Amino acid sequence: MGVDIAIIPNNRSCFSKYSIDFYKDNLSANGFIYDYWNNLNFETLSHRNQFYYSVGNIWR
């Protein structure tokens, strides 16, 4: 069991030092990550697909 939503609310460097897998591994089955500042945009799109949303791609 994990969290339903992981919110990355600002651009502090501590949020981008972890890979997306760190956040993903702590999500529930239907959970998602909402990244206001695109801290994890260095990850490939296919790796972020389906559970990662950020300002600019909320329509996905």
Q: What is the pLDDT along the chain (60 residues), one digit of tens a residue?
A: 799 999 998 888 888 888 888 888 889 988 999 988 888 877 776 777 778 888 765 544
Question: Quick check: is 59 in a domain?
Answer: no
Question: Quick check: is 13 in a domain?
Answer: yes
| Domain housing 40 | 3-54
Instruction: Provide the domain count of the chain.
Output: 1
Please tell me the predicted confidence (pLDDT) of residue 13.
Answer: 84
| pTM reported for the whole predicted model | 0.75
Question: Quick check: is 60 in a domain?
Answer: no
Buried b (16+ CB within 10 A) or exposed e, 3-21: eeebebeeeeeebbeeebe
